[in-house]
């Protein structure tokens, strides 16, 4: 039992005990104290005021009090593994007030206060000197960042389906079918967490009409893939998709070939990102698995990067595939560490996807061709039978 939680609050407590225990356990692990034990007591302001008076001779409540079992021992000497560390007491009323002031959730404020308390239990004390106060603040920020990363890694990976190929088939005939808007609805009903379409300058597959209709019909998340040209930026700002993914676009290419050279056009991309961000539209940059591009993406203010998985998927030998996979894995880790949200895609199929999906740093995969190709094959039998059913039988 590494985190003993007691809630002594009049009425239903405004926090979820499981979430508090989970945060407490993670914090112990992040401090290398998985085997140790700390007690957490959550109270109201009246009870906290009593403790504050009794132990600190101060009037009124405070947000957090820590009672270390190894009071006075230096932080550098970590407590022996498995030892009880002490108690941290938090006033939920004060924490809730502070949360409101900062515009954050009570659980988030509580995490910050628990971190503060835990560092006290481990021997840090901001009251000893200015230098130690600074050191403790830095440790708090770092632990909060690590806690966020720890939780992000466990998020379930999601699938966004690219329906461009449905439009490609429609455009090949120049008629109204098949309709990517209907296809998008089917993908969502099947569990896709988002729909991706690429509105190309040459309109070879997705048309303006599709984007406008999808904006009205997509219930999950519409991700508009696009080149950063003035015309398409204007359309995107008018349509307001849930996010945009900026890609390089060449007229002659069959599909997006490489990632964006973010490092080489930071000013231009920075300006485009600024326009989208002020319109409340997060931007993803489609990049090769390359440290330079990740650093640049972070510098120009992107929210997401989408790591290009094409070379990994197209590898023709095991050795090459391993090498390309390592590049994707390292890039995803670097982007994650840089605080970017990480997606990945291009060329992923039924053989190459699982390994990328297992990385833990990637939020969402964007997949089109493999799913549409498979849909034709698994749907063909039924399509033929449905047509046969229309024919008169003798
Ligand atoms: N991500 C981006 C940026 C793309 O350009 C594409 C292709 O449209 C995809 C993902 C999906 O690639 P695929 O169709 O090979 O699954």
What pLDDT was estimated at residue 56? 93
Q: What is the separation, in whole angstroms, between the first and last Cα of the chain? A: 75
Euclidean distance between CA atoms 361 and 341, whole angstroms = 8
**SS3 (DSSP) at 305:** strand
* Of 72, 85, 8, the residue nearest 44 (C-alpha): 8
Ligand 1 contacts CB of residue 310 (under 6 A): no
Euclidean distance between CA atoms 1 and 325, whole angstroms = 39
Same domain for 167 and 67: no
Residue nearest to atom 15 of ligand 1 (CA): 347
What pLDDT was estimated at residue 153? 84
Q: Which has more confidence, 346 or 152?
A: 346
pTM of the predicted model as reported, rounded to 2 decimal places? 0.80
Residue 29 reports pLDDT greater than 90: yes
- Which atom of ligand 1 is closest in space to residue 256's alpha carbon? 5
243 falls within a domain: yes
Which CATH number characterizes residue 376's domain?
A: 3.20.20.70
Which CATH number characterizes residue 110's domain?
A: 3.40.390.30
**Residue at a domain's end among 99, 133, 153:** 153
**Residue at a domain's end among 98, 130, 153:** 153
240 falls within a domain: yes
393 falls within a domain: no
Residue 259 reports pLDDT greater than 70: yes
Same domain for 139 and 7: yes
What pLDDT was estimated at residue 80? 67
Same domain for 321 and 256: yes
Residue 152 reports pLDDT greater than 90: no
**Which residues in 78-107 are b (16+ Cβ under 10 Å) and which e?**
ebeeeeebbbbbbbbbbbbbbbeeeeeebe
123 backbone dihedrals φ, ψ, rounded to 5°: 110, 0
Same domain for 63 and 50: yes
**Residue at a domain's end among 102, 135, 153:** 153
Total domains in the chain come to 2
Ligand 1 contacts CB of residue 366 (under 6 A): yes
**SS3 (DSSP) at 131:** helix
351 falls within a domain: yes
- Which atom of ligand 1 is closest in space to residue 349's alpha carbon? 16
The pLDDT confidence band at residue 174, using thresholds 50, 70 and 90, is very high
Tens-place pLDDT, residues 351-391: 999 999 999 999 999 999 999 999 999 999 999 999 999 99
What pLDDT was estimated at residue 128? 87
Same domain for 180 and 110: no
User: Are the C-beta atoms of 293 and 263 separated by less than 8 Å?
Assistant: yes
Same domain for 327 and 227: yes
Tens-place pLDDT, residues 269-315: 999 999 999 999 999 999 999 999 999 999 999 999 999 999 999 99
394 falls within a domain: no
Same domain for 182 and 85: no
- Residue 245 host element (H or E): strand 243-246
Find the domain containing 138 and state its range: 3-153
The pLDDT confidence band at residue 162, using thresholds 50, 70 and 90, is very high
Active-site entry in 116, 140, 165, 225: 225
Same domain for 311 and 264: yes
The pLDDT confidence band at residue 22, using thresholds 50, 70 and 90, is very high
Tens-place pLDDT, residues 65-122: 999 986 655 555 666 666 789 999 999 999 999 999 999 999 999 999 999 999 999 9
Ligand 1 contacts CB of residue 369 (under 6 A): yes
Alpha-carbon torsion angle 350, 355, 361, 366, nearest 10: -20
Same domain for 170 and 137: no
Share of the chain above pLDDT 90, in %: 86
Tens-place pLDDT, residues 210-243: 999 999 999 999 999 999 999 999 999 999 999 9
* Of 244, 179, 188, the residue nearest 206 (C-alpha): 179
- Average pLDDT of the chain to the nearest whole number: 94
Same domain for 130 and 25: yes
Same domain for 247 and 374: yes
Same domain for 160 and 145: no
Q: Candidates 192, 243, 255, 286: which one to mutate for ligand 1, based on the most atoms within 8 Å of Cβ?
A: 255
Q: Candidates 256, 328, 376: which one to mutate for ligand 1, based on the most atoms within 8 Å of Cβ?
A: 256
């Amino acid at each position: 039992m590494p985190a003993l939680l007691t809630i002594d609050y009049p009425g239903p407590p405004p926090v979820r005990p499981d979430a508090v225990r989970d945060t407490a356990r993670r914090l112990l692990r992040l401090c290398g104290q998985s085997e140790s034990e700390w007690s957490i007591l959550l109270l109201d302001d009246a009870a906290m005021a009593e403790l504050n008076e009794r132990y600190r001779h101060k009037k009124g409540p405070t947000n957090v009090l820590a009672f270390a079992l190894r009071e006075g021992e230096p932080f550098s000497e970590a407590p022996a593994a498995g030892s009880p560390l002490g108690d941290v007491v938090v006033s939920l009323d004060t924490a809730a007030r502070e949360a409101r002031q900062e515009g954050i959730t009570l659980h988030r404020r509580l995490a910050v206060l628990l971190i503060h308390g835990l560092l006290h239990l481990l021997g840090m004390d901001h009251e000893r000197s200015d230098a130690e106060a600074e050191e403790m603040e830095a440790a708090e920020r770092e632990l909060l960042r690590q806690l966020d990363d720890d939780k992000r890694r466990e998020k379930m990976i999601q699938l966004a389906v690219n329906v461009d190929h449905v439009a490609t088939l429609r455009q090949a005939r120049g008629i109204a079918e098949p309709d990517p808007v209907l296809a998008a609805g089917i993908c969502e009903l099947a569990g896709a967490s988002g729909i991706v379409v690429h509105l190309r300058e040459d309109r070879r597959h997705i048309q303006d009409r599709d984007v406008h209709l999808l904006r009205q019909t997509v219930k999950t998340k519409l991700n508009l893939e696009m080149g950063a040209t003035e015309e398409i930026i204007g359309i995107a700002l008018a349509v307001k998709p849930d996010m945009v993914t900026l890609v390089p676009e060449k007229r002659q290419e069959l599909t997006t070939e490489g990632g964006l050279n973010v490092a080489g056009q930071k000013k231009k991309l920075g300006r485009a990102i600024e326009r989208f961000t002020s319109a409340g539209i997060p931007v993803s940059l489609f990049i090769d698995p390359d440290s330079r591009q990740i650093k640049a993406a972070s510098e120009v203010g992107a929210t997401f990067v989408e790591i290009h998985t094409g070379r990994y998927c197209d590898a023709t030998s095991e050795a090459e595939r391993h090498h390309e996979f390592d590049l994707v894995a390292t890039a995803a880790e670097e982007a994650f560490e840089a605080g970017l949200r990480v997606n990945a895609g291009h060329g992923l199929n039924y053989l190459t996807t699982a390994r990328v999906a297992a990385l833990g740093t990637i939020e969402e995969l964007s997949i089109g061709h493999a799913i549409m190709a498979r849909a034709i094959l698994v749907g063909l039998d039924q399509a033929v039978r449905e047509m046969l059913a229309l024919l008169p039988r003798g």
